Amino acid sequence: MSQPLNVPNLLALARIVLTPFVMAFVLLSDQIDHAFGIALGVFIPAALTDFADGYLARRWKLATVFGAFLDSVADKVLVIGSLLVLIEVGRAWSWAAFIIITREVAVMGLRAVAALEKATVPPSFWGKSKTTFQFFAIGFALIRPETEFGPFFFDEWLMLVAVLATVLSGWDYFHRYWGAFKSDARVEIPADE
């Protein structure tokens, strides 16, 4: 039986713990020299833990339901936290963040419904791609070079690609697992607390 706090799970936890530091340096960029660069220096290792934890969990045969949950939550915390502060300082679009957050909530709901049907919703190519593009877009937004490419900065072009990958991954998940909503099985819905 694997321990809940094995190395892959600790890496996912590190992603959650590092997120407030990324946010703090961005928010304090007026008061701290090179704050965006420092934020990027925290963001990169946090993002890299996403690739390391899954790889190590598979390699060391430590993949667990708790680990999959923690990995998914950690990704969302890092991406959403980073996007929110980038919006605050004018380096990200609120509409892009809305699409990304809506997709995350919708897929989380899909996974919950699939779990009621005793089905799993494994990560897909598009799901992994959207996370990678989101990380790159956020990383480049943190160090935004002055040069614009047409109407947008480079990180904004990356964010457009990230939004497209986000929409495609959401469509892919719902296309493949829509059957979970067609079940005639009765489920008990707990009252809101």
Q: What is the mean pLDDT of residues 161-184?
A: 86
Domain contains 187? no
How many structural domains comprise the chain? Answer: 1
Is 2 within the bounds of a domain?
Answer: no
pLDDT single digits (tens) 41-83: 999 999 999 999 988 888 888 888 888 889 889 999 999 999 9
Whether the per-residue pLDDT at 4 is higher than 90: the answer is no
Question: Which residues, 6+ apart, have CB-to-CB distance to 101 below 8 Å?
Answer: 80, 83
- Within-domain flag for 160: yes
Please indicate, yes or no, if residue 136 is contained in any of the structural domains.
yes
144 falls within a domain: yes
Q: How far apart are CA 55 and CA 187, in angstroms?
A: 35
Contacts 24+ apart (CB under 8 A), 36-40: 36/142, 36/143, 36/144, 37/142, 37/143, 39/142, 40/139, 40/142, 40/143
pLDDT for residue 83: 98
Looking at residue 183, what is its pLDDT? 64
Cα 87 from Cα 60, distance rounded (Å): 39
CATH number for 98: 1.20.120.1760
Give me the count of residues in the chain.
Answer: 193
Task: Say what the pTM is.
Answer: 0.88
Q: Domain of residue 170: give its range.
A: 7-182
- 20 in any annotated domain: yes
In a domain? residue 48: yes
